[in-house]
Structure 1
Amino acid sequence: MTPTWTNACGLDFGTSNSTFARVDAHGVPHLLALEDGKPTIPSVLFFGFEDDRLYFGRQAVAEYVSGADGRLLRSLKSVLGTALIGDSTRVKATSYGFVEIIGLFIAALKARAETELGAPVDSVVCGRPVHFVDDDAQADAAAQGQLEGAVRAQGFRHVEFQFEPIAAALDYERQVTSEKLALIVDLGGGTSDFSLVRVSPERARSSDRSADILATAGVHVGGTDFDRLLSMARVMPELGLGTLTRDGKRHLPVAPYYDLSTWHRINRLYTAQALRDLRGTGREAQAPERVSTMIALIEDRLGHRLIGAVETAKIALSDADRADFAFPVRDQVLAADISIADFTAALANSVERIETTIAETLRRAGIGSAQVDSLILTGGSTQVPAIASRLVALFPDAELVRTDVLGSVGLGLALDAARKFG
């Protein structure tokens, strides 16, 4: 039997990536293809100044990385509930409010979902964090209202919300036969969030799950931080980081290497002044050939591709003990042999901060680690071995539940939409 689709869906508007999902006639949730056949789309917009076009997702990133003249906007979800939400940003001769910009992105998602389904979508369950804004109930309520306004403005007639950790647990909850205490570990691109949630067949039928969330905590550590730390530890030394000036009295300045390892700071190096400073550094360096390679890399605007290659090496270390990093720069190859031990050492401080935040989550709930029945892992960074091994060590008796790391929240929201609107 060919599945049929309803016109209700789940929308996970994420800080880094977004998804749309629907439940088929058999009750199975599916992510919809939103860009080039892929079920995830980066939550990024690019206003192109040269062609007056608006780009979304990977296309937006590609335009920005190519050096096209324009304005890139990302991490829009993070402004909800803050003072920035009332501000506007100027794009050439037009001013856009942030709620309006969020609406533009959601409108693009809706149009792509409807194209994929061949039918209009008018009912949606949106994901939301347990706290948009910490320790401020009024700002938190305002944030949900702002997101709801942006969603309704795109033509959705019925809009509901569900907590993201509950959404991540919903698919797992279909399998449980008794009540369990689950720790939802959501390691995203910019933040790591932890929620203790009670799940059971009976609780799954409840429309209000707020009482099932026993505690939450988060820390601003995520996948982009891991890319930067790996780059600084193993790649930037090949460009001169940590080496001395010719007189041996001081190390080369760290700031350019930090900028080259941080995605949103790379464009700061693509200026005449930054290149002049680097050439001056090269003249003073004990290893000028390394700085010369860095200068060539920046002159050719390869910075974002370099970070992409570092991320590829990071991902490779999820399945292997070593990764051979090789990045061409003109007639040279920037090379480094990166081991899992190197990566683990680079992440030591971040892993410690994650452990501290997990301990705080347990403390807020007043429970011990032995009482946690299940670890539900979502977010791409849960695949990093240094983190996964520590989670297992912290909760040795808990069931390890690996979800669709980028799509679990969207899938759970689709299940909730089928229940609420079906």
Structure 2
Amino acid sequence: MSGAPACGIDFGTSNSTAGWSRPGLPALLPLEGGKPTLPSVVFFHAEDEHVSYGRAALTDYLAGYEGRLMRSLKSLLGTAMIDDHTEVAGRALPFRVLLAQFIGELKHRAEKAADQSFSRAVLGRPVFFVDDDAQADKKAENTLAEIAHAVGLKDIAFQYEPIAAAFDYESQIRREELVLVVDIGGGTSDFALVRLSPERAKKAERRDDILASGGVHIGGTDFDKYLSLASVMPTLGLGSRLASGLEVPSAQYFNLATWHTINQVYSKKSWTQISDIRRGAVDKDKLDRLQNLVRERAGHWLAMQVEAAKIALSDAPQAVMDLGRIAPGETLTLHRPDFDGAIGELVGTVSRTVVALLKDAGVNGDDIDTVFFTGGSSGVPLLREQISALLPQARSVEGDRFGSIGAGLALDAVRKFG
């Protein structure tokens, strides 16, 4: 067993990767169509019980196949939902089994790409699965460990995701640096303040090099959610009035704006509630759009349009959303200030987390050499601006937004397992 190779597994909220560190070869293994990322998505086909994963799952859903799409699976860890189940093709599917199916598929694809079986792995984890609740956080890690063992990983270790990203960056530098790793993933924002150098990289134990780590349960899916609630859900009736003068109930809109609760809107109970609201609504056209969306089971489609708009608004001053699937011929134009306003409070919380981290470490912002950005949402302009303002002397370095953690976990697997 001592000679068995070990891999790194980054099970992400939006995308997942697997790495195997070998001299002279890329660490990340190709998982789908030659690409190193596998979107963390599962689609259960209703007709033939076939299950598709990643980009193929999204393609099947958008092609209109009957079935059930599940995304942001990692968000279940640390919540009461992890011990619950969902209905797929008329059968109860425990969420733990759902996560095991996806992680098992991730492991299988890594092994196929490596032409090598893996029974040892370093798994990435956020600094906090759950904010301000150590017991719930430990339960989330234990749940992930149990799932990893269930899919055939006999020996596992965990590493904080921003520290794994730090190890990836360290493999590229030639002198010592004090680095703040900023990892803005799909579900969490995580940070590590680490001393890195080629010499330090040779050490088996790196605890003394890690000055501080921290995080908060805010990530790219939250940016999606609040952009949707601020700009998109009002077109479906959020914030409008009933004939009684009361505001339209908001629960269905929050479910639609949150990736892992979208499917709840398709229940018979939800349809009855929406129909009752529509009857009493002043602006029935907006509720008609909402009913069209539920009838078409287009919640994930709409969430993908919001996600695409978020990405576009990170590079351009405006983005145009096509609402044609639920309102033929209609579009919605979103502007950068709309996005900034929607996520301003979230980004403020992220910035305060960085300030607290530096204070805990006893480090002045001017002492930091480099800010290493990684994670799929690390390019959000408002977030970049606020963090850069805190660290005006530090240079900004772009990591592989979707690959730095997996590559760093592969390096750590060599350190931990040989």
Q: Is the partner of 1:383 in helix, strand or coil?
A: coil
| Bigger Rg over Cα | 1
1:404: how far off?
0.7
Shifted more, 394-403 versus 66-75: the winner is 66-75
Distance 2:341 2:117 in 1: 50
Does the alignment pair 1:112 with 2:109?
yes
Partner of 1:250: 246
Q: Which amino acid aligns with 2:228?
A: S
* Counterpart among 3, 7, 11 of residue 9 in structure 1: 7
Gap change, CA 1:312 and 1:79, over 3 Å in 2:
closer
Distance 2:384 2:47 in 1: 45
Partner of 1:374: 370
Shifted more, 205-214 versus 105-114: the winner is 105-114
Q: Is the partner of 1:251 in helix, strand or coil?
A: coil
* Counterpart among 169, 173, 176 of residue 176 in structure 1: 173
Aligned length: 412
Q: Which amino acid aligns with 2:221?
A: T
Question: In the TM superposition, what whole-angstrom CA distance separates every residue of 1:110-131 from its partner, at most 9, and x where no partner exists?
Answer: 3212322334445544334456
Question: In the TM superposition, what whole-angstrom CA distance separates every residue of 1:338-374 from its partner, at most 9, and x where no partner exists?
Answer: 1111111111111111111111111221222222221
In the alignment, is the contact (CA less than 8 A) between 1:238 and 1:334 conserved in 2?
no
Distance 1:143 1:337 in 2: 39
Does the alignment pair 1:19 with 2:17?
yes
TM-score (norm 1): 0.83
Counterparts of residues 232-251 of structure 1 (less than 5 Å): 232-246=229-243, 249-251=245-247
TM-score (norm 2): 0.83
Gap change, CA 1:254 and 1:90, over 3 Å in 2:
closer
Does the alignment pair 1:411 with 2:375?
no
Distance 1:135 1:348 in 2: 22
Distance 2:11 2:132 in 1: 22
1:16: how far off?
3.9
1:328: how far off?
0.4
Distance 2:251 2:413 in 1: 47
In the alignment, is the contact (CA less than 8 A) between 1:50 and 1:70 conserved in 2?
no
1:313: how far off?
0.7
1:78: how far off?
5.8
Partner of 1:362: 358
Distance 1:95 1:246 in 2: 40
Question: In the TM superposition, what whole-angstrom CA distance separates every residue of 1:284-322 from its partner, at most 9, and x where no partner exists?
Answer: 333322222222222111111011001111111111111
* Counterpart among 292, 298, 302 of residue 296 in structure 1: 292
Partner of 2:320: 324
Counterparts of residues 54-69 of structure 1 (less than 5 Å): 54-59=51-56, 68=66
In the alignment, is the contact (CA less than 8 A) between 2:8 and 2:20 conserved in 1?
yes
In the alignment, is the contact (CA less than 8 A) between 2:75 and 2:187 conserved in 1?
no
Partner of 2:33: 36
Q: Which amino acid aligns with 1:359?
A: V
Gap change, CA 1:30 and 1:333, over 3 Å in 2:
farther
1:224: how far off?
1.1
Measured on the aligned residues, the alpha-carbon RMSD in Å equals 3.6
Distance 1:97 1:305 in 2: 22
Does the alignment pair 1:196 with 2:193?
yes
Counterparts of residues 201-220 of structure 1 (less than 5 Å): 201-220=198-217
In the alignment, is the contact (CA less than 8 A) between 2:42 and 2:51 conserved in 1?
yes
Distance 1:270 1:158 in 2: 40
Question: In the TM superposition, what whole-angstrom CA distance separates every residue of 1:146-191 from its partner, at most 9, and x where no partner exists?
Answer: 6556545655576555442222012321333333221111111121
Shifted more, 118-127 versus 71-80: the winner is 71-80
1:405: how far off?
0.8
Q: Which amino acid aligns with 2:18?
A: F
Partner of 1:75: 73
Shifted more, 134-143 versus 187-196: the winner is 134-143
1:83: how far off?
8.9
Distance 1:144 1:286 in 2: 47
Counterparts of residues 226-237 of structure 1 (less than 5 Å): 226-237=223-234
In the alignment, is the contact (CA less than 8 A) between 2:161 and 2:190 conserved in 1?
no
Unaligned segments of structure 2, at least 5 residues:
none
1:387: how far off?
0.8
